[in-house]
Structure 1
Amino acid sequence: MKSVIFLISSSLILSACASGKVTLQPPSQKIEIENEKVIDKDFNTAWDDYVAELSKSFFVINNISKDSHIINVSFSTNKPSDFVDCGTSVVNTKHPVLGEKNFRYKVADSISYWLGVNGTNNIVQRERSTSLDGRVNIYMTPKDKKTFLRVNANYVMKIFVSQGNAPFVDSREYSTTFPTNSIGKFSDGNYCRATGRLEEDLMKLAN
């Protein structure tokens, strides 16, 4: 039993002593996402054409009501940086044999890297896995014989971080929720914002 306790204690000590200097470049807080446009078609034509194009996209149609002029869709991706910006991080760590290493990555993306352990030849693995999903309300209504379109998304960004060497691994999860033209803050103070690509992709479907 004592050996088991020693192994667990050693693993926790190594994980606690893992060393890395983190430099974070946050995204801009300036929000200027274009999410409205006027379609040069009458409402009935614009609606039918838009629904036809939307059905071909990767978005999942949850609800659709022509009378209410609302379409609700959902989305999910394992590469959040395509649609959100959470800044860029650089982790600097050192190892007697492996040398000094800078791990640079987009905070919104998944990555695996190692951290040196002070005063030893050991390393500790750190795994970051990210995901993004959410829902979008698409509003279409007649406007002067044309059609007005507005796209409002609600993003759910999740980051799962684990650190240690199997079978002794510590883990935690961060998440934040934010709409178009706003920011989402994590508990550690970091934040994300939409890039506008999702809204642009949905508006492009209205040819």
Structure 2
Amino acid sequence: MTAKLSVIGLLVIIMFAQGCTTFKATQPAITKTENSRVINKDFESTWNATMAFVADTFYIIDNIVKDSKIITLSFSSSNPSSFVDCGNLVSSKSSKSVPIASKSYRAGICDYSSRLSGKINIIMTSLSDDKTKVKVNTRYVVDWKQQCPGSYNIPIVQTRNFAFSTNGSSSNGNITCTSNSRIEDGILDGIESMASKQ
């Protein structure tokens, strides 16, 4: 007989010998990301500042098209909760919670893990001789896994995938993921800081 387990529905109920513990998936805070900024420098200075900043980060440069004023980056993280918000998993017994997009954790008798990957486009627009608009668009992909004990020591494994862009979100079942703006804010802050030193 094949055992089936819903991956965190509205309430996940896990039975213990002494009773039952209930786990609830909360929803993330959906906020608007300000993903563009005007840098008080000409395009050339802003471009150089962007390249200097990116070269000193964990982002991988995939493509550079200066004529089109676009830089494409890729990234990955084994701890998605640093960059995305998928809500929390809350225990009814202890009221303790853990971010659903954490690297790895245990809730009741089940183990959970998640991973993040994505792409970033940095787009520049020259507004004048001393002003350049920089826009950061990010595509996020979260892979989330649940593993619980099953019959005959065969684990029950289920996965969920979430894909969304800056100022967007993705829902799968009763879990919703969105960005926490850290990537967009961090890139814009870094470019602005680097440009001020030009």
Same fold by TM-score greater than 0.5 = yes
1:182–1:44 distance in 2 versus 1, CA, 3 Å: same
SS in 2 for 1:205: helix
Q: CA deviation at 1:203?
A: 0.7
Q: Separation in 1 of the partners of 2:3 and 2:127?
A: 63
Matching of residue 203 in structure 1 with residue 188 in structure 2: yes
- Aligned pair count? 176
Q: CA deviation at 1:103?
A: 5.2
Runs of at least 5 residues in structure 2 that lack an aligned partner in the other structure: 5-12, 16-20, 194-198
Give 2:147's aligned residue: 162
Q: CA deviation at 1:168?
A: 1.8
TM-score by length of structure 1 reads 0.78
| Equivalent residue for 1:135, pick from 119, 122, 143 | 119
Q: Separation in 2 of the partners of 1:72 and 1:195?
A: 20
Asked whether the equivalents of residues 35 and 184 of structure 2 are also in contact (C-alpha less than 8 Å), the reply is yes
Deviations 1:136-188 (A, max 9, x none): 110012111211100000100111110017842110110010000011111x1
Q: CA deviation at 1:78?
A: 1.2
Asked whether the equivalents of residues 103 and 113 of structure 1 are also in contact (C-alpha less than 8 Å), the reply is no
SS in 2 for 1:141: strand
How high is the sequence identity, in percent, across the aligned residues?
29
Give 1:183's aligned residue: 169
Give 2:7's aligned residue: none
Q: CA deviation at 1:24?
A: 2.5
Give 1:80's aligned residue: 80
TM-score by length of structure 2 reads 0.81
Give 2:9's aligned residue: none
Q: CA deviation at 1:91?
A: 3.0
Give 1:5's aligned residue: none
Give, as a single letter, the amino acid of the residue that structure 2 aligns with 1:130.
S
SS in 1 for 2:167: coil
